[in-house]
Amino acid sequence: MSTPGESATTLRQRFLGAAFWSAGSDLILTVFGMGVMLVLARLLHPKDYGIVAMASVFIGLVNQTNVVGLGHALVRIERVTPELQAMTFTYAVVSGLAMYAVVFLMAPVAAAFYHEPSVAPLLRVMALGVVLRSFYIVPYSLLRREFNTRRQSKVQIAGTIADAAVTISLAASGFGIWALALGPLTSHLVQAVAMSVARPWHMGLRVRGPESMELIRFAGGVNVSFLLWYWYVSADSLLIGRVLGGAALGIFTMAMNLSKLSWNKLWLTLNPLLLPLYSQARGTPGELGRVFLRITHWVALLIFPASFGVLIAAPEGVTTLLSAKWADTVLPLQWLCLLGPSRALAALMSPVLLAVGKVRLEVFFSLACGVALPVAFIFALPHGIPAVAAAWAIVFPVLAIALLLRPVLRALDVRVAAYLRVLRTPALASLAMALAAFGLARVFDLPPVWALAFKVVSGAGLYVGLVIWWEGNPYRDLRELLSDTRAGALR
């Protein structure tokens, strides 16, 4: 039997190796996706994309209420038996078919809402993906549980290639919107087969068992939480588009997308790994708290300077890189940059609640955000887009601190002072970086392009220098990090 120290080292290596494969595949898929997008842009018309986007809104909503909770439950549970795998598969298929029936019946309503008749048949075809996902949720979740992102990434790359091949072929043959609908279905088919090959599992039908109530209760709570999350992150665009119009929504969307550059890719890499990491770390007394603080520290070291860097570079960056017509993006972008660190840190806390079984608190937090944020947006709308962004930047951190921080730290048996200590260097160094870069740029009064370059170079240099001064030379930690990542990636 391994000692706690040995177990922690192994867990660290497995996590870092999984993060390496996850980040690598995400980079490959991003570059490949951009190439496919350029090809399809020449083969299809803007209206084709618009019609598919209309249907995608409803598909995204359905996806939040189907197999997500079941997958999280399978990752979290201590012992996965063949009976539990069969039960998860059964519930996934039943819920997928039920969701498809709802979409099939409501498709004409969606078409009438958009005044676009072709949305109805398109929605009925695209919704088949909800059913197909049920056939690989079990092997996908088992690979997540085992940190085997190496096989998982290969399957996802294969699915993406199949999607691209079918979509481009159909688009070139004149199938229009159906190319964009049938390509993803092909990807789901490929992943359903390839996931089962990459991670063999016990397929079967089983309705009841010792873990059935726990599985349903946990999955239901997660699904409700995700549905509420989908609502409150979409409410801003819904209200802005309804009240202020398309131009204002375009400005806000650009600002939100730019602000996410500082944290979204890192979150997409870490998010699938946090629940299995926390679930396994809880087996050793005190280990879950240590892992949480360590992850928080490393994430803060990256997120805080990135968010503050975009904030101070926004005036020159927007006009230089996007042109002057996007100048109204600057102020809302700066507000949303202040939001970035709190959203990233809250994203690290939510999997803790799932790992320790406190799903109700996660649902309560999502419900509070789902009520408070839309209300704040409504009051902010008469004052314009910057006010909506300010509402995000003020209300969300207050809710996270008031409702999420203390329960999470209590569940981890971690003191508030210990948590603030891991944030101290990233926060203070980033603040000093922002103030110094902003002040020096004003003193020298450089042209926008040179001011942008000066802020980036001087700010990055100052931040790295302050971190080394306060925390010591990170070379040893970085060398150990790379060594453990290599060991985990090759295991």
The mean per-residue pLDDT over the stretch 162-181 comes to 91
Higher-confidence residue of 2 and 113: namely 113
Residue 373: is its pLDDT beyond 80? Answer: yes
The mean per-residue pLDDT over the stretch 264-289 comes to 79
176 token code pair: 């229009």
Residue 179: is its pLDDT beyond 70? Answer: yes
The pLDDT tens digits of the residues spanning 439-491 come to 776 767 777 787 778 888 888 888 988 988 888 766 566 666 667 666 666 66
The mean per-residue pLDDT over the stretch 276-293 comes to 83
Residue 86: is its pLDDT beyond 60? Answer: yes
Report whether 131 contacts 93 (CB < 8 A): yes
- With cut-offs at 50, 70 and 90, classify the pLDDT of residue 383: very high
Least confident stretch, 11-25, 68-82, 120-134, 190-204? 11-25
Mean pLDDT of the chain: 83
Q: Which residue has the tokens 């609908």?
A: 181
User: CA–CA separation, 366 vs 62, rounded Å?
Assistant: 18
The mean per-residue pLDDT over the stretch 35-42 comes to 77
The mean per-residue pLDDT over the stretch 186-198 comes to 94
Q: What pLDDT does 485 receive?
A: 65
Q: What pLDDT does 477 receive?
A: 65
Which distant-in-sequence residues (6+ apart) come within 8 Å of 434 by Cβ? 308, 309, 311, 312, 459
- With cut-offs at 50, 70 and 90, classify the pLDDT of residue 381: very high
Q: Per-domain residue ranges for the chain?
A: 1-210, 224-491
Least confident stretch, 11-15, 71-75, 142-146, 426-430? 11-15
Report whether 251 contacts 330 (CB < 8 A): no
User: CA–CA separation, 86 vs 214, rounded Å?
Assistant: 15
Residue 162: is its pLDDT beyond 90? Answer: yes
Q: What pLDDT does 89 receive?
A: 92
Q: What pLDDT does 66 receive?
A: 63
Burial of 470 (0-12, 13-18, 19+ CB in 10 A): exposed
Burial of 195 (0-12, 13-18, 19+ CB in 10 A): buried
The mean per-residue pLDDT over the stretch 102-107 comes to 92
Report whether 64 contacts 234 (CB < 8 A): no
Burial letters 363-378, b for 16+ CB under 10 A, else e: bbbbbbbbebbbebbe
User: CA–CA separation, 12 vs 22, rounded Å?
Assistant: 15
Higher-confidence residue of 442 and 360: namely 360
- With cut-offs at 50, 70 and 90, classify the pLDDT of residue 38: confident
Residue 134: is its pLDDT beyond 60? Answer: yes
Residue 380: is its pLDDT beyond 90? Answer: yes
Residue 235: is its pLDDT beyond 90? Answer: no
The mean per-residue pLDDT over the stretch 256-285 comes to 78
Residue 178: is its pLDDT beyond 90? Answer: yes
Residue type, 283: G
Q: What pLDDT does 194 receive?
A: 95
Q: What pLDDT does 2 receive?
A: 41
Q: What pLDDT does 282 receive?
A: 78
216 token code pair: 């349903």
Residue type, 296: T
105 token code pair: 């019946």
The pLDDT tens digits of the residues spanning 46-57 come to 677 767 777 776
Q: What pLDDT does 138 receive?
A: 92
- With cut-offs at 50, 70 and 90, classify the pLDDT of residue 267: confident
Higher-confidence residue of 246 and 128: namely 128
177 token code pair: 């919107």
- With cut-offs at 50, 70 and 90, classify the pLDDT of residue 167: very high
Least confident stretch, 77-81, 159-163, 282-286, 418-422? 282-286
The mean per-residue pLDDT over the stretch 166-183 comes to 91
The pLDDT tens digits of the residues spanning 140-151 come to 989 988 888 889
Q: What pLDDT does 409 receive?
A: 93
Quick one: what percent of the chain has pLDDT higher than 70?
A: 91
The mean per-residue pLDDT over the stretch 145-165 comes to 90
Higher-confidence residue of 375 and 153: namely 375
23 token code pair: 């980040």
Q: What pLDDT does 104 receive?
A: 93
Residue 97: is its pLDDT beyond 60? Answer: yes
- With cut-offs at 50, 70 and 90, classify the pLDDT of residue 423: very high
The mean per-residue pLDDT over the stretch 385-389 comes to 93
Q: What pLDDT does 336 receive?
A: 93
The mean per-residue pLDDT over the stretch 62-86 comes to 79
C-alpha neighbours within 13 Å on the C-beta side of residue 397: 14
Report whether 96 contacts 130 (CB < 8 A): yes
77 Cα distance to chain centroid: 22
